[in-house]
Amino acid sequence: MAPTILVAGATGNTGRNTVETLSKLLNTSSTLPGHRIIALTRSSQSQAAQKLATLPGVQVLEKSWLDVTPAWLREHEVVRAFIAPHFQPTQFAEESAFHLALLQAGVQYVVRISTAAPNVRPDYPAYYARSHWAIEALLSSPEFSALQWTSLQPNGFTNFSLASAAELIKQYRKTGEQHTLRLMLAPDVPVGLIHPDDVGNMAAHLLVQEDPSRHNRAKYVLNGPEDVTGEQIVKMVEQHIGTRVESVSYKDMSIIDAVAAALPPELKRLILSLKEHGALSMWEGKCSASTTSREVLELAPPTRTVADGLRDLLEE
């Protein structure tokens, strides 16, 4: 075998472009010679997984990252890793087990995806942000000093924030009818929404650093190259459909209701904390493009605009 970079959740929101960019970087530079990429996915037969399997230096394996063990990591010679955890209430227990396996296997460096930087604190009302704080506290402990790590803290993804806009445009083009445009953003507060591919690009550039110690224990804030408000998104939709948007619901987190409905009663309260508190930092103006970390702009500056993100959703 060869030294391996493991990408957990390779066909997910940020994992796909992490794999694609890693493949390009490893094949066009002298950094980390002889390294290969293992892309983990729950379904190796999916279209996304099969596309990744064609990339140079990439091996796609059908395996849940929840089942990764120290023995498996050593067997596959994993030296660096990427993880984008889920947002379910079991996140801390499951992601901490993954990092413990990395530590016990002697993995050198891990890049993980966190959440909006202003939220990552022990007293945040939404459980998800507290889970991320707890993971970063765990990784910062003396017991984990042998595992170097970096947390990427995107303040808001274009695909999640523009989903209702893309659905309305598609519906109007097909039927001439509109549903209520539900936007997580406030009408007049600027937010630096970031395309998930830009987050994956940053992760890949970190993972191929010859010496990642400069980025050890770093928490980098990521935003897109420009700010956008809810009102500006409405105007974008109107340009696409050629008429006025009839109904808009700003600061709308109703998508959380559907997630909560699928969970057992004892977990619904936790999930619903995201509905009330999950986007507060956006609404308070704490997630503008100006908050992007200097290291992100130096290493892999985001380039994909909100218009790019909407176009990608419309092409799906």
Lowest mean per-residue pLDDT among 15-29, 131-145, 261-275 = 261-275
| pLDDT, mean of residues 36-43 | 95
Residues 179 and 231 in one domain: yes
Q: Is residue 218 part of a domain?
A: yes
pLDDT at position 274 = 86
The per-residue pLDDT for 196 is: 97
Q: Is residue 311 part of a domain?
A: no
Is the pLDDT confidence value at 1 over 90?
no
Buried b (16+ CB within 10 A) or exposed e, 213-245: eebeebbbbbbbbbbbbbbbbbebbeebbeeeb
Residue of higher predicted confidence among 40 and 274: 40
Q: Is 33 exposed, middle or buried (0-12, 13-18, 19+ CB in 10 A)?
A: exposed
Same domain, 177 and 109: no
Do 20 and 115 lie in one domain? The reply is yes
- With 80 as the cut, is the pLDDT of residue 158 above it? yes
C-alpha distance across the termini of the chain, in Å:
37
Does residue 11 sit within a domain? Answer: yes
Is 253 in the same domain as 131? Answer: no
At 273 the pLDDT is: 85
Asked, for residue 71, whether it belongs to a domain, the answer is yes
65 and 163 part of one domain: no
Q: What is the largest CA-CA distance in the chain?
A: 60
Q: Are residues 62 and 134 located together in one domain of the fold?
A: yes
Least confident of 57-66, 178-187, 270-279: 270-279
For 73-117, write each residue's pLDDT tens digit.
Answer: 999 999 999 999 988 889 999 999 999 999 999 999 999 999 999
> What domain range is 12 assigned to?
4-154+196-222+291-302
Average pLDDT, the chain: 95
Is there a single domain that holds both residue 123 and residue 206?
yes
Based on the domain organization, do 51 and 95 belong to the same domain? yes
Quick one: average pLDDT of 288-314? 97
Would you state the pLDDT for residue 269? 83
Q: Are residues 51 and 86 in the same domain?
A: yes
Q: How many domains does one find in the chain?
A: 2
Q: What is the CATH number of the domain that holds 139?
A: 3.40.50.720
| Same domain as 175, residue 66 | no
